[in-house]
Amino acid sequence: MSALQENPFTGPLAAEYDVLRLMCPNAATLAKKIGERVAEWRSEAGPIDGFEIGCGTGISTLAALSARGDLKLTAIDSAGEMLDQARTNLADYALAGRVKFIDADALTALRALPDAGMDVVISNYAVHNFPDGYRKSVVCEIFRVLKPGGIFVNGDRYAMDDPAAHLADTQAVVRDWFKIFTKMNRLDLLEDWIVHLLSDESPQHIMYFEPALEQLRAAGFAPVAVEFRDGVDTLVTATKPGA
Ligand SMILES: C[S@@+](CC[C@H](N)C(=O)[O-])C[C@H]1O[C@@H](n2cnc3c(N)ncnc32)[C@H](O)[C@@H]1O
């Protein structure tokens, strides 16, 4: 697999994923907002089926499951070390039949789903990891697997369209990371996160804000709404028309 396609969430990034809480407090904020958004989506509809892309250790999975008691979720991730933690962290939910974890590549898993079977698709900080061509295919598949009226809720890093503003934001983030990891005496872990950031920021991966919203509209979603934005950290909802 080329460096452009590699999933970075192996080794130290997976084993010590918890540090993200310090590096990016908005990741937890957006997980909570995803839960709230799923809870308010057709709250009277009765039991709903959801699909999560890149569930990681289960932070966003837990937010969604705890916010909506009648949600049943299929949560996939292609990093076994992340998924193992999710299985442990959410063992009670799995036992209760509320969540099924699957070790799978996002696009492959989506392609295996039937048309129009899901009420909601959620994701938190996974889609920006994808190369753009792959992301475009994923977005089209999300549209296909949603029921008419279904919703895609994505919390993620959407790069600023103004390159100077985005660079300044990224530089500020990196300076902040140096402070955090120096205090922890963990420059080894910082090295892995910076290598990962370089992948996210590469021309093949970087998910610019307006083009990403346009990618959703081009797939057929309407409306596409921005419900929260703080720096690059953004909550986007995209509805499949109909119903
Ligand atoms: C930053 S983590 C986010 C995890 C979790 N959603 C959260 O809120 O903490 C991104 C996750 O996406 C997963 N991922 C990245 N590329 C993937 C792909 N192509 N297919 C499936 N999962 C992928 C990674 O393994 C990782 O667990």
CATH of domain 11-239: 3.40.50.150
pLDDT band, very low/low/confident/very high, at 66 (cuts 50, 70, 90): very high
Each residue's pLDDT tens digit, 72-86: 999 999 999 999 999
Measure the CA–CA gap between 235 and 243, rounded to whole angstroms. Answer: 24
For position 7, what pLDDT does the model report?
A: 78
pLDDT at 99 over 90: yes
User: Is the preceding omega at residue 163 within 30 degrees of 0, hence cis?
Assistant: no
Predicted confidence at residue 4, as pLDDT, reads 55
- Average pLDDT across the chain, whole number: 96
* Cβ pair 204, 132 in contact under 8 A: yes
> Complex ipTM above 0.85?
yes
Tell me which residue of 77, 30, 47, 41 sits closest to 238, measured CA to CA. 41
CA distance between the termini of the chain: 41
Does ligand 1 lie within 6 Å of residue 189's CB atom?
Answer: no
Q: How many CB atoms lie within 10 A of CB 69?
A: 9
**For residue 106, which atom of ligand 1 is closest to its CA?**
20
The CA distance from 156 to 236, in Å, is: 8
Determine the residue of 82, 110, 141 to mutate for testing ligand 1's pocket, defined as the one with the most ligand atoms within 8 A of the Cβ atom: 82
Residues above pLDDT 70, as percent of the chain? 98
Tokens encoding 214: 């346009």
Express each pLDDT in 125-158 by its tens digit. Answer: 999 999 999 999 999 999 999 999 999 999 999 9
Higher-confidence position of 80 and 1? 80
* Ligand 1 close to Cβ of residue 156 (< 6 A): no
Q: Is 65 in the pocket of ligand 1 (CB under 6 A)?
A: no
C-beta of 19 in contact with ligand 1 (< 6 A): no
- Per-residue pLDDT, averaged over 82-91, amounts to 98
pLDDT > 80? residue 186: yes
H or E segment and range at residue 100 = strand 99-103
For the chain, domain boundaries: 11-239
Helix, strand, or coil (residue 117): coil
